[in-house]
Amino acid sequence: MQIKKQSRTVLAAALASVGVLGGGAEVRAASSAVLPFNGGPDAYRKGAFGPLMDWPLIPIHVVLQPDGRVLSFGTDLNGTHQPELAYDVWEPALGTGSTAHLTLDSKTPAATNVFCAGQALVPITGQTLVAAGTVNMSAVTKGIPSADTNLFDYRSNQMVKEPPMALKRWYPSLVSLAGGGLIVMGGKMDTADTTIYGEIPEVYEAGKGWRVLSTAASVEAYGARNWYYPRAWQAPNGKVFIQTNFGAAYDLDPTGTGTVTKLPKSGLADLASTLPSAMFAPGKILFLQEKQASAMLDINGAVPVASASGKLSQMRYHGNATLLADGQVVVTGGSSVPNSLSGAAYAVETWNPATGLWTLGAVAAKARLYHSTALLLPDATVLVGGGGAPGPLTNLNAEIYYPPYLFATDGSGELARRPLVLGGPSTMVWNHGYPLRMANFKAARGVKRVTLVRAGADTHNWNNEQRFFDLAFHWNGTDEKLRVFTPANAHIAPPGYYLLFVFNPFGVPSVGRVVKIGP
Ligand SMILES: [Cu+2]
């Protein structure tokens, strides 16, 4: 159960390469799983997958931690959904073997079955909030939804029980708020009774517990018509924006006891809970649709505005959409027949926000169907794992996708030299400039781009926590210091944990530096 001390030199090197973060909190520098690796001649155009690696459980839920590790859970150690919770913390700096995993088969203290719960980092504390799940799960009882709340703390590796929510929920969404809280909405309240769903949202605040939004009940927004992981985001106007699968959209004001308002139609259609989405720029969301289509929704104005985007090569039901360090969106896995190997998509497909076009890339080893996940890691690679329980595969495994930006453009397949961030602040506030200390910066001809990607939390092809920003920056052209400017406010960049990437003139990103934005 202990992380072994193997690869200490690798860890030390990784920590040294990115610099140990300052500040009072015990936040370690972002770690890196990138090993000596040749991606082949096409890697600079298509990216490449690393070798398949074993995973101690099916990672149905994955959450990037403030220290760069990955929390995953969803099944027991055999890949089945037992009444008891197991969870795993992976340390990428220790590589991809079993010694890089801290796996806890936790029958105590948090005896909730968190299969198909909601999960997200608490913006202020960095703990992982796990909302609901079931009280039991067996072939006989099926799932009985639970109101339990559990908190995982990366500092102690412990999951502890918190006061419960007012409503039982199974398959709810958790969304980070500008004020530092998290809102939970939707979910199923009773397995047998198909008339009651989590139509009343609740807000969690660290140290305060839950507040019921009793005047914001909605059957359409997050009740019976849209209870399954409702698609919702903190919006630029200060409200929470909800896009239902049947086309209607809502604004929810989470202050007091809450107010929900129906918005004018954007025309966005052909959505499905089995298809992913991603906020690729402030107030702009990419949706995958039926008929291999995709669309963009702009929620920056008074009314949401939809526009068509490129066509995918095939349907990718249950595939995951992940924002890369350069703002492109990579879709991994999925299938043309939901949760079936028939028409399984092995190649990644990447969307370029500048052109709206999709491009096929590297080919994965495994089909990733229902209950698969994907997560951007601090080293700018993507962890792609899981699938099963139920499904045709029991994927107690994962693989890492290395995007094209990591490779030399000469076709050698070698990893490119990366810019090195030596130091900088670990906490930042909005609309402010901060210095970053770079290595050999002048010799490397400086910087092309600085980006910020919010730490992800993914389950059921739904990673609403991820967000992307191009940051303004200033380099005087002579020294080893770079000045970067944070996003304008908490409405577009909710408080919480982000990865900061510096790109060199060749488009190669640094290892992402974990920064906390907020109080
Ligand atoms: Cu599920």
CATH of the domain at 440: 2.60.40.10
pLDDT (tens digit per residue) in 75-130: 989 998 876 678 999 999 999 999 999 998 766 555 678 889 999 999 999 999 99
pLDDT (tens digit per residue) in 198-215: 999 999 999 999 999 999
Q: Which pLDDT does position 110 carry in this prediction? A: 54
**119 CB-contact burial (10 Å; exposed 0-12 / middle 13-18 / buried 19+):** buried
Q: Which pLDDT does position 277 carry in this prediction? A: 98
**Beta strand 421-423 with 433-438: parallel, antiparallel or unpaired?**
antiparallel
Residue 57 Cα to ligand 1 middle (Å): 14
Q: Which pLDDT does position 81 carry in this prediction? A: 80
Residue with the two structure tokens 């349907």: 315
Neighbours of ion ligand 1 (CB under 5 A): 116
Rounded to an integer, the average pLDDT of 220-234 is 97
Rounded to an integer, the average pLDDT of 141-169 is 89
Q: Is residue 412 part of a domain?
A: no
How are strands ordered across the β-sheet holding 142-153? 118-121, 128-138, 142-153, 158-162
Q: Which pLDDT does position 70 carry in this prediction? A: 98
Q: Is residue 68 part of a domain?
A: yes
Q: Which pLDDT does position 440 carry in this prediction? A: 82
Residue 431 Cα to ligand 1 middle (Å): 39
Q: Is residue 411 part of a domain?
A: no
Q: Is residue 415 part of a domain?
A: no
Give residue 516's Cα distance to chain centre.
16
Residue 475 Cα to ligand 1 middle (Å): 47
Residue 396 Cα to ligand 1 middle (Å): 16
Q: Which pLDDT does position 107 carry in this prediction? A: 60
* Residue 405 reports pLDDT greater than 90: yes
Q: Is residue 21 part of a domain?
A: yes
pLDDT (tens digit per residue) in 244-265: 999 999 999 999 999 999 999 9
Q: Is residue 2 part of a domain?
A: no
Q: Which pLDDT does position 80 carry in this prediction? A: 87
* Residue 480 reports pLDDT greater than 50: yes
Co-location of 345 and 425 in the same domain:
no
Residue 60 Cα to ligand 1 middle (Å): 8
Task: Identify the CA nearest to 463 among candidates 388, 391, 382.
Answer: 382
- What does the mean pLDDT of the chain come to? 90
3-state secondary structure of 13: helix
CATH of the domain at 70: 2.130.10.80
Residue 74 Cα to ligand 1 middle (Å): 8
Q: Which pLDDT does position 143 carry in this prediction? A: 74
Co-location of 119 and 145 in the same domain:
yes
Domain count, the chain: 2
Q: Which pLDDT does position 160 carry in this prediction? A: 87
Q: How confident is the model at residue 386 (pLDDT cuts 50, 70, 90)?
A: very high
Q: Which pLDDT does position 30 carry in this prediction? A: 39
Residue 20 Cα to ligand 1 middle (Å): 37
Residue 460 Cα to ligand 1 middle (Å): 6
Q: How confident is the model at residue 16 (pLDDT cuts 50, 70, 90)?
A: very low
Report how far residue 518's alpha carbon sits from residue 180's, in angstroms, rounded to the nearest whole number: 8
Half-sphere exposure of 110 (CA within 13 A, CB side): 30
Report how far residue 261's alpha carbon sits from residue 413's, in angstroms, rounded to the nearest whole number: 52
Residue 75 Cα to ligand 1 middle (Å): 10
Q: Which pLDDT does position 10 carry in this prediction? A: 32
Q: How confident is the model at residue 453 (pLDDT cuts 50, 70, 90)?
A: very high
Comparing 48-57, 136-145, 303-312, the range with the smallest average pLDDT is 136-145
Residue 23 Cα to ligand 1 middle (Å): 38
Identity at 328, one-letter amino acid code: Q
Residue 348 Cα to ligand 1 middle (Å): 23
Residue 510 Cα to ligand 1 middle (Å): 35
pLDDT (tens digit per residue) in 291-347: 999 999 999 999 999 999 999 999 999 999 999 999 999 999 999 999 999 999 999
Co-location of 428 and 397 in the same domain:
no
Comparing 179-193, 242-256, 391-405, the range with the smallest average pLDDT is 179-193
Task: Identify the CA nearest to 360 among candidates 369, 368, 350.
Answer: 350
3-state secondary structure of 222: helix
Residue 345 Cα to ligand 1 middle (Å): 20
The more confidently predicted of residues 31 and 366 is 366
Co-location of 18 and 161 in the same domain:
yes
Cβ count within 10 A of residue 469: 20
Domain boundary (357, 373, 406) is at 406
Rounded to an integer, the average pLDDT of 375-401 is 97
Co-location of 292 and 388 in the same domain:
yes
Report how far residue 101's alpha carbon sits from residue 124's, in angstroms, rounded to the nearest whole number: 26
Co-location of 467 and 323 in the same domain:
no
H-helix segments, 255-357:
none
Share in percent of the chain as helix, strand, coil (round to 5): 5, 40, 55
* Residue 32 reports pLDDT greater than 70: no
* Residue 227 reports pLDDT greater than 90: yes
Co-location of 298 and 190 in the same domain:
yes
Q: Is residue 202 part of a domain?
A: yes
Q: Which pLDDT does position 27 carry in this prediction? A: 32
Residue 115 Cα to ligand 1 middle (Å): 7
Q: Is residue 3 part of a domain?
A: no
Q: How confident is the model at residue 26 (pLDDT cuts 50, 70, 90)?
A: very low
Residue 116 Cα to ligand 1 middle (Å): 4
Q: Which domain holds residue 185?
A: 8-406
Percentage of the residues of the chain whose pLDDT score is greater than 90:
80
Residues composing the chain:
519
The more confidently predicted of residues 19 and 55 is 55
**Beta strand 382-386 with 397-402: parallel, antiparallel or unpaired?**
antiparallel
Q: Which pLDDT does position 7 carry in this prediction? A: 32
Q: How confident is the model at residue 506 (pLDDT cuts 50, 70, 90)?
A: very high
Report how far residue 207's alpha carbon sits from residue 203's, in angstroms, rounded to the nearest whole number: 12
Co-location of 67 and 199 in the same domain:
yes
* Residue 364 reports pLDDT greater than 60: yes
Residue 372 Cα to ligand 1 middle (Å): 10
Co-location of 337 and 300 in the same domain:
yes
